[in-house]
Structure 1
């Protein structure tokens, strides 16, 4: 019963169909991932076999070079099977994509080696990079690195220091996971299977080519692939909405499917379809989910329209992030209403509805999706305020 966005946006249907083909297998492994607080190996292997972990990697580095609209549709389809798997798929895609901006030597090492890269990590500066012969020594801690148990590369935001220990800039260090320690800190009520743990580095050496400096010249300015020119912050916000769309659509489908047979307890309505209020609530929720999808896919299409020589302004980046924050608010409201329509039985441990509900409520609180913060940023842009706090 999902809405088909393909008539309106450019989507690689073959990749989306691969994602849909994984749904039943992923559903069967949900409980194991929830209990183990990490993706089952079978889930990650299915993503690899379907080749859905390099959707956003440019073709020049061996990826699909797909559009952001395709990634949203892929993630939404995966999320209907397992929200945590969709989240890891999205985060590894976007973090691996981010590392395609490394200096040429780093790109060669990470992307053109014998092993296909699966990158997890965090942009927030949680450590420091000190200069040493041939590169840097990196020390730090970075929480919420989704997919940490399955990645082979990890990234962390760092303050770049000089020989005297003074900060000279900000960057992202790309490190082999074999050089990092994973602290088991992801103990939450939703999205438990994402393995979003803390990465720890203790004097990890990286060569110059594996430090991406925020203010450094873009090494891909001559590339014709649009993804090589996406604004990082806006791309990070947009990509995270994909799994949420799938979760919300899954709840809507479950509630609609039960409407002919599920009744309201302690009322004379034998079925949900006999209640005008229930039908209104389902219709309103469906409209809100569709509105959120339109916001998200429009933001993705805006990013896809970029390319060589196209500069995305601070104003436009803030608009895109506000659209994503707005989409999250709509999805939360819609799903909360649908859960109320479905009733207390939705919270049974065996209920799929409560699984999607709790996962959506946790995932939609990601900092890049903060509704109120993104509205404030956009509002400041609209009035021309100089106090605009864009991080990336």
Structure 2
């Protein structure tokens, strides 16, 4: 019998202490610790979107967002890697044959990483050979398979883009991930030099009405849904930051005052109340957004302006999290930036993750402005 959403969220909540315990090590090593990998597996994080017919959980969008948000409270990097794997399965499984699906899902907890920027591919008898470098492959060192974007020869002037499914064991991993936050994601660079990919594992994108590759794979809301899944780990970062400050409200003394602790200060209570409301209401907004997307996910058509509005809502939620966690940092003061403090890691992870290409605010606003005013065609796929 399939596990309920509540049971899956409870499992994720039980994994949080383990993830939190090993979050600093993941950051130092630029790779999720083995203990956290096992905790994620036991919580079902890697089987979330594996189809039920292959032994997975087959969780819907709302459940996936709820589970990943909970996991992010312990370690946003760990939740991010699980989110990337979950969304790669969601997005590309429809392009796979039954034989490839059976190969991929031989282990329901199979882990994927993905890089969409197209690299080099030469078509050869029976498949393609790939060569090049694919950067920002989150979870590269612990993934079983990678989906890498490639550009194929054009046909009748129409560009062709595909994702190739390749075992990570056939690639080299260069440890290039040097960033201020989300370090534990280990988003290193994958390198291939003439690796052969059989035709069955070349997942060519269909063409849209304009003749360009359809990144939505015929499901208009799939990219917005993907954004919600990735954003769940960032909701977790905001929730984790809230947990960290709430734990010291009765312990930390406001500097240079007579207050015995933060809870005794009216202004500190005001700051905390504002931050608490923004974090929890932002989390509620994200779940509600996932519900709205899920309701429309199977629709054959969705107006550009509707999809753009959903993306704008996603960006607004993330900006709300950013403001809230800044308030929490103000309450914690300079001690919150100590490398021993989990708060600074949540702050950095959120600030880096919120700048992912899925969430580029100035482009999302420009896109929406074009659609809302009728001034032109969108500059981004929505």
TM-score with structure 2 setting the length? 0.89
Give the gaps of 5 or more residues in structure 2.
209-216
SS at match of 1:302: helix
Question: Any residues of structure 2 matched to 1:7-26 within 5 Å, and which?
Answer: 12-26=5-19
What is the CA–CA distance in structure 2 between the aligned matches of 1:375 and 1:149, rounded to whole Å? 35
Report deviation, 1:185.
0.5
| 1:247 is the counterpart of 2:237 | yes
* Equivalent residue number for residue 211 of structure 2: none
Report deviation, 1:386.
2.8
What is the CA–CA distance in structure 1 between the aligned matches of 2:356 and 2:246, rounded to whole Å? 29
Question: Any residues of structure 2 matched to 1:43-122 within 5 Å, and which?
Answer: 43-104=36-97, 107-108=100-101, 110-113=103-106, 117-122=110-115
Checking the alignment, whether the CA contact within 8 Å between 1:325 and 1:372 is kept in structure 2 is no
Report deviation, 1:23.
1.4
Report deviation, 1:96.
2.2
Alpha-carbon spacing, 1:341–1:294, altered in 2? closer, same or farther (3 Å): same
| 1:209 is the counterpart of 2:200 | yes
Give the gaps of 5 or more residues in structure 1.
1-10, 218-226
| 1:133 is the counterpart of 2:125 | yes
Q: 1:91-148, CA deviations, whole angstroms, 9 ceiling, x for partnerless residues?
A: 11111222212232564354354685321011122x0322110111222322111110
TM-score with structure 1 setting the length? 0.87
* Equivalent residue number for residue 345 of structure 1: 335
Alpha-carbon spacing, 1:317–1:309, altered in 2? closer, same or farther (3 Å): closer
Checking the alignment, whether the CA contact within 8 Å between 2:26 and 2:183 is kept in structure 1 is yes
Report deviation, 1:274.
2.6
Query: How many residues are matched?
Result: 371
Report deviation, 1:341.
1.2
What is the CA–CA distance in structure 2 between the aligned matches of 1:381 and 1:283, rounded to whole Å? 37
SS at match of 1:169: strand
The more displaced of 115-124 and 65-74 is 115-124
Report deviation, 1:52.
1.6
Checking the alignment, whether the CA contact within 8 Å between 1:285 and 1:334 is kept in structure 2 is yes
Cα RMSD, aligned residues only: 2.5
Question: Any residues of structure 2 matched to 1:1-392 within 5 Å, and which?
Answer: 12-104=5-97, 107-108=100-101, 110-113=103-106, 117-125=110-118, 127-161=119-153, 168-215=159-206, 229=219, 231-306=221-296, 308-391=298-381
